[in-house]
Structure 1
Amino acid sequence: MTAFQQLIDAMRAGRDWSGMGDPNQARELMAAVYTERYHGAAHHKDRYQLRANLQKKEEAASYAGWITADNPTSGAYQGTSFVWFPGAGGSIAVLVIGTDGFGADSHILGRPGHGRRLRALRALHQGRLWVKPDLLDLNSRVPETLSADWPAAEPALKTYGQVIYAAIPVQTSADANAVEDLLDLFFAEHGTPLTGKARTRWDKRQQDIAGAIFPSFDETHVLSLLKERRFLILEGPPGTGKTRWAIRLAEQIGGVTQVQFHPARTYEDFIVGLFPRPASNGLAFEVRAGDLLHANQAAATAPHVLLIDEINRADLGRVLGEAVMLFEVGEAPRRVRLPQVPDGHPPELELSPNLLVLGTRNTADRSIARMDLAIRRRFAFIPVWPDLEVVAAEGVDFAVRLFSDCIHSFAEYADDETLWLVPGHAYFLDPRPDLDPTDRPARVARRLELELLPLLRDYLDERLCGGATEAIAGLSDRISSTLMGLR
């Protein structure tokens, strides 16, 4: 049995563990886990100290765990730590902040990537792992509605509940994966390399985490959702292939009416309007049906998709007008009376059940106002993120390396709003794959220089990157240096 398996057994036993009351036995077990999983060199091992205060008494706030070595050997400490609290029927494994403050680990806790990885792990563990919404919040506690179902360790939760920021109850062998994730994340964040099978596992786990942060586009799932939900928007950063995916999905449904929105788009263009035309005695006005009416008429007998590219670039409230109330799913059909009635159309507009609306939305376009909430709630939104596999498939080594650097820089340092600016994989692909493949690296390099770098400069010049400004500026410099080295 491995040392880690012994640790899991001790956690599952909680206060019934045979080593309870013997701090040396707990420290020996944790030391064995460290030697087994992590780099054993003294300059790494000496970075940590082992603390254990395990008592069989129910009223005691028992704990054991790793903290950084730059703290005193007893009493309050600073920084983050991995700790387990034994209770009745199991234990609680946590990441916790020392009661003396953030200390030297403030850079870890304040970096968006740390919280983002924890939230990704929460998703991977289907919500069993609890993560505090704001890791730096020292006022709120672990919710009692949640901890009521955990192993009974009330004294520890009462004493340390405000400084716990990630926690998993350890009650069955199935909880071992979550404990491994928290433990490995703690040491990885503190610069300690893993060894052997533990390293192989963590490398794979990091791929899973990246996949949870940037989920891949599942065409089958989205196609099914479009048929079910009817009104759907693909949203994401520039260069992620939203329009290409939208066209491909729409063509699989049936007929397609494609339009592109822009600031000059009007109600008259999209719904119905009066337009002048030459007449023998001057000008006359005719009623013209807009894009929605044409698409709705085409959907009368067969499924039809109205594809709206760049849907957020128009003022949707003005473009849709009273027709916004028609975009409801699962209710009795609604009707609105048209202000003018074009030839061949009824006086009231009712959307055909065969009509599906598929839009695309560029999340990097900050020049457009946020989408009206009344409109937003009528659509389902699917994120479309950058895809490393697409770039890797082309086999241009420096493009794969720079794309990985780009993804990491945004994921690690960008807040949630800035993350939507991350450049998509298209910037790292050959713009003309139909040409001579031997010239592909040169074409990709030109694209990075003429398209990606200006985009990053725009982000920086417009001050869109917030706390990630320095990291994105560094990314831009690394890309420039790499391209100079290729010349």
Structure 2
Amino acid sequence: MKPLFYIIHSETTENWKSRNQEALEALFGASGGRYPKTAQGSVTLRAAEFAGDSGVPFAAYIHPSNPASGPYGGMSFVIFPVNGAPCLVAMVVGTQGLSPDEAILGRPGHARKVRAICAWLNKEFGGGKQVAWAKHDPARVDLDMPGELKRRWSSYHKVCERYGKVIYAALAPTGNREATERAAAALLDLMFGERGHAPLVQHEGHAEQLRTAWFRHLMTAVTREEVIRLLRKRRYVILQGPPGVGKTLMAGKILEEEYGHCGRSIQFHPNTTYENFIGGLAPVQGDHSLGFRFAPTPGFLMEAAAAALADPSRNYLLHIDEINRADLAKILGEAIYLLEPEPGYERRIDLPYDFGEPFHRTLFLPRNLHVLGTMNTADRSIALVDVAVRRRFAFVSLWPSMEVVEKHGCATSKEAFRRMLSIFVEHGSDEALPLVPGHSYFLAQEESEAKSLLQTALAPLLREYLAQGYVAGFAEDIRSYLQWVESL
């Protein structure tokens, strides 16, 4: 791929077409190419040269079904040379439309992977600046590149003005040639992969290394240490994710090991009320023969605040499991005012009753009180967390981990996990992706145990998804997967 990388950074269009033809041919064959010779038939070169200001030159790898000249259609890998800067590297929809790649460009997985590649490039090589950009939906050729991005990428102004609506991913190379090489390789691997061609055996390791790097930005891995740091800084955190990713387990381990059991775990449900959580009147045993009477009784939050206040030298953790199974806005009431990690002053609210020591009729939350909620993103039958509540909590997403399955799962578990992950990544909408079952469904170490776990735990969950219409856009893929699970 070196001829291509040299062209990108050469800043000249001399012998533009012949040089790009040589670079394209160098991509194929075992003698030095990255892809098999059979992949060569899946692309052809369109290299447009223009003198002066008569047009925007480019070199594009396009589908071979396109005509030899004129507008082309479908997915393409394109480099745009400019004066005084490296070529802009881009993924482009031909101005003739999506065909013949409409199935690829319209699939959620393609857009998702391109966005992940650009996120990886910005994080790894941006140094605080945006060096890569991706459109949310490649098929939306009616949407232009953001104006602010065009202004920042002023070297490529002419390119962006001419092709901004059909560019759906772009890299503005810096002086870091390693970044350019890795970006171009990742985008080409994706394009050829979409057309059914994998890199040659000698390049499989490098290709997998790149894929692993950008895939982390598709399903970001979050460590326990990161959650702990966030709790120390923000105080109020919610772990969200699909079933089986270990949200409750992580919260329990944090309470046990980081807080030394200084705290408690509670669980919300649809019948949880303000009186349960903040405090209110509740029946208590009366004196002698008087039976029950109603008296002000602290709720979970008030009790946690009192416990934290009793020992300011230690942080106290209130873990709320299934925090979205109740209407959080109603449960918090005016106490939402207290949930500010850095309020700038001590916030207090008046209470309707005297709850005794230490708050009486005024509630405040000591700074050593931390709240960690866990939320199942697959549970759509319950209350949504509204914007006012979301603003007061830091949200962290937990995703299924291939690394965990590779370490603890048997062969059947690993295959089942890869298949399931591929279905959701490739076909799931943005609303459906957070439903992907977690790795706990795939951790059996024995083959017989794996089959039982898949058939008795995973399969019922997927059938429920089907029944509820959560995976309507790719229901047949799920049904086919279930048929495979049942055949084990």
TM-based fold match above 0.5: yes
Give the whole-Å Cα distance in 2 for the aligned partners of 1:292 and 1:109: 49
Rate the CA distance shift 1:466–1:239 in 2: closer, same or farther, 3 A. Answer: same
Equivalent runs, 1:5-24 vs 2, <5 Å: 5-14=2-11, 16-20=12-16, 23-24=17-18
Q: 1:402 aligns with which of 408, 412, 416?
A: 416
* Structure 1 outlier segments of 4+, above 6 Å: none
Query: Identity rate of aligned residues, in percent?
Result: 37
What do you get for the CA RMSD once the two structures are aligned?
A: 1.9
Amino acid at match of 1:370: L
Distance between the aligned counterparts of 1:24 and 1:344, measured in 2?
84
Q: Structure 1, residues 319-373: CA drift from partner, whole Å, max 9, x if none? A: 1111111001111121111112223232200101110001100000000121121
2:235 — aligned with what? 230
Say whether the 8 Å CA contact 2:88–2:170 is kept in structure 1: yes
Describe the superposition over 1:141-180 as per-residue Cα deviations: whole angstroms up to 9, x where unpaired: 2234323444745554333221111111235324222122
| Secondary structure of residue in 2 paired with 1:121 | helix
Name the CA distance, whole Å, in 2 between partners of 1:210 and 1:471. Answer: 22
Matches within 5 A, 1:307-322: 307-322=319-334
Amino acid at match of 1:306: L
Question: Kindly tell me: are residues 339 and 96 of structure 1, through their superposed partners in 2, closer, same or farther at Cα, counting changes over 3 Å?
Answer: same
Counterparts of 1:69-468 in structure 2 under 5 Å? 69-89=64-84, 90-126=86-122, 127-150=130-153, 152-172=155-175, 173=177, 174-251=179-256, 252-254=258-260, 255-279=262-286, 280-300=289-309, 301=311, 302-331=314-343, 332-346=345-359, 347-430=361-444, 440-468=446-474
Matched residues in 2 for 1:270 and 1:83: separation?
A: 58
Q: Give yes or no for contact 1:151–1:171 (8 Å, CA) kept in 2.
A: no
3-state DSSP class of the match of 1:125? Answer: helix
Letter in 2 for 1:137: R
The C-alpha deviation readout for 1:423-465, integer Å capped at 9, x for no partner, is: 11111224xxxxxx7xx33223212111110000000011111
Task: Decide whether aligned partners of structure 1 residues 319 and 144 sit closer, same or farther in structure 2, where only a CA change above 3 A counts.
Answer: closer
Could you say if the C-alpha distance between residues 283 and 148 of structure 1 is closer, same or farther in structure 2, counting changes exceeding 3 Å?
closer
Q: Is the 8 A contact 2:76 2:92 kept in 1?
A: yes
Length-normalised TM-score, structure 1: 0.91
> Tell me, which stretches of 5 or more residues in structure 2 are unaligned?
123-129
2:126 — aligned with what? none
SS at match of 1:367: coil
Does structure 2 retain, via aligned residues, the 8 Å contact 1:129–1:178? Answer: no
Q: Distance in 1 between matches of 2:233 and 2:23?
A: 53
- Kindly indicate whether the alpha-carbon contact (under 8 Å) linking 2:466 and 2:472 is maintained by their aligned counterparts in 1: no
**Measured at CA, do residues 95 and 321 of structure 1 come closer, stay the same or move farther in structure 2, by a change above 3 Å?**
same
TM-score scaled to structure 2, two decimals? Answer: 0.91
Looking at structure 2, the residues matched to 170 and 297 of structure 1 have their Cα atoms a distance apart, in angstroms, of 56
Residue 62 (str. 1) matches residue 68 (str. 2): no
Change (3 A) 1:59 1:145: farther
Flag the 1:57–1:153 CA change in 2: closer, same or farther, 3 A. Answer: farther
User: Retained in 2: the 8 A contact 1:38–1:192?
Assistant: no
**Alpha-carbon distance between aligned partners in 2 of 1:196 and 1:17, rounded to the nearest angstrom:** 33
Count, aligned residues: 467
- Deviations along 1:242-263, one digit per CA (max 9) or x if unpaired, are 1110011122124012110000
